[in-house]
Amino acid sequence: MRSDHLHPEARLLLDTIEMQGAPPIQTLPPEVARKNVREAGYRMTPEPQPLERVEDRSILGPAGPIPIRIYASENGGVRPGLVYFHGGGWVIGDLDTHDAPCRAIARLSGAVIVAIDYRLAPEHKFPAALEDCETATRWVCSHAVELGIDPHRIAVGGDSAGGNMAAVVAIHCRDTGGPALASQLLIYPVTDLSSFDTPSHREFAEDHYLTRETMNYFTGHYFGKPEDGAHPDASPLLVRDLRNLPPAFVLTAECDPLRDEGEAYARRLEEAGVPITCTRYAGMFHPFFSMPVLTEARRAYQEIAAVLREMRPAAAAASQGTA
C-alpha cells in the first residue's frame, strides 16, 4: 500500500508508471532492464536544455576507456566543478539516463559537470564501478584547468549508488592524501549494504518504485560474495572515522527505503565535525531526482546548484571543518 505521505505529483507519476505495465526491474535480465529504464526515462524527460558545451570524451581507466560527458553553461573562465556518478544500483543507468539533471545543474550553477559512465554489474563486480569513479575523480582534478574548473573547488556527487560511491571516493581521497575535494553531494545515497533493517526499508519495501526485491536484485548482481556488503567501500556508514572529510550536502526522500541510512550517514558526519546540510524532500520517492517532470526534482536541481555556486575552496572548507 502506498504511503499517505506521498506528494500528489509523486502519487500520480507512480500511478502512471504502474498503468504502463512495464515488468519490474528485478524480473528482467540486466541488459533488458537497462533498455527499459532508458526508454522510460526518454518518455518522462522534457526536451534537453541547450548548453553551450556538451562534450563526450573518454579517459583511461583500470580496465580500459571510461566514457565521460562534460557539461558547461558557457565557454571560458574557471568555475566550480562537479564529478557526477549516476544512480541505478550499479546495474542500470548511464550518461543518457541522467543527462537531464546534469544539464539542469550545469545551467543553474554555472559549474562544469563531468558525468562518469562507470562499469556496471554483473559484468563487472564490486569494486569495479568504484575504481572507475575514483580514477575519473583523480583525472578531473589533475585536468581541472583544461576543463575550465577551479582546481580548489571540485566536488564529487551522485544519486543512490552514485551517492554511495561519491561518499567512498571522498573517504579514499582523504586517506590517500588527496586530491582535496571541496564538497560531497550525496543524493539519497546508499550507505549501508550490510543490512536493510531500518524503519524506512520496512515501511517502503514495496509500492514506492524502489523495492526490497529490487535492492536484493542490485546487490545480488553487484557483489561477488554476500560479505562484500559489509566492506567499508560498499557501506560507508560502517567506516569508523569520518573526520576531516569535505563538507557534505545530503538529500533524502521521505518515501524512500534508503531515507534512514542516508540521514544516519549525515548524523555520523555531523558528529565527526564535518560541515553538513541534510534536506529531506517531503512526499518524494526513489528515484524522483532523475525525473524532471516532478516539481520537487527541479527544486532539488536549484538547491544543488546553489551549493555549487557557494562552494568554498577545499583548503578553506578543510579549515572550516576543523575549527
Model confidence at 75, pLDDT cuts 50, 70, 90, reads: low
Query: What angle do the packed helices 8-20 and 295-309 form, to 10 degrees?
Result: 120
> Considering only CA atoms, which of 179, 163, 157 is closest in space to residue 81?
157
Label residues 6-31 b or e (16+ Cβ within 10 Å = b).
bbebbbebbeeeeeeeeeebbebebe
**For 26-78, where are the E strands, in sequence order?**
53-61, 64-72
Would the pLDDT of 30 be above 90? yes
* pLDDT tens by residue, 227-275: 999 999 999 999 999 999 999 999 999 999 999 999 999 999 999 999 9
Check residue 47 and give its pLDDT: 76
Beta bridge partners of 64: 61
Among 98, 152, 201, 286, which one carries the catalytic annotation?
Answer: 286
Instruction: Supply the mean pLDDT for the chain.
Output: 94
Q: List pLDDT tens digits, range 34-70.
A: 999 998 887 777 777 789 999 999 999 999 999 999 9
Instruction: Give dist(CA 2, CA 256) in Å, integer.
Output: 11
Is 256 among the residues known to form the active site? yes
User: For 51, left (φ over 0), alpha (ψ -120 to 50), or beta?
Assistant: beta
* Active-site residue, from 99, 109, 117, 160: 160
Q: Beta-carbon neighbour count of residue 279 at 10 Å?
A: 14
Angstrom distance (rounded) from CA 19 to CA 13: 10
Pick the catalytic residue from 192, 228, 233, 256. 256
Predicted TM-score (pTM) of this structure:
0.96
Banded pLDDT at 320 (limits 50, 70, 90):
very low
Beta strand 53-61 pairing with 64-72: antiparallel
For residue 5, how many other CB atoms are within 10 A of its CB?
13
Q: How confident is the model at residue 316 (pLDDT cuts 50, 70, 90)?
A: low
Residues belonging to the chain: 323
> What is the distance between the alpha carbons of residues 113 and 46, in angstroms, rounded to a whole number?
20
Determine how many CB atoms are found less than 10 A away from the CB of residue 240. 5
Architecture per CATH, 8-322: 3-Layer(aba) Sandwich (3.40)
Q: What's residue 318's pLDDT?
A: 47
What is the identity of the amino acid at 157? G
Residue 319 scores a pLDDT above 70: no
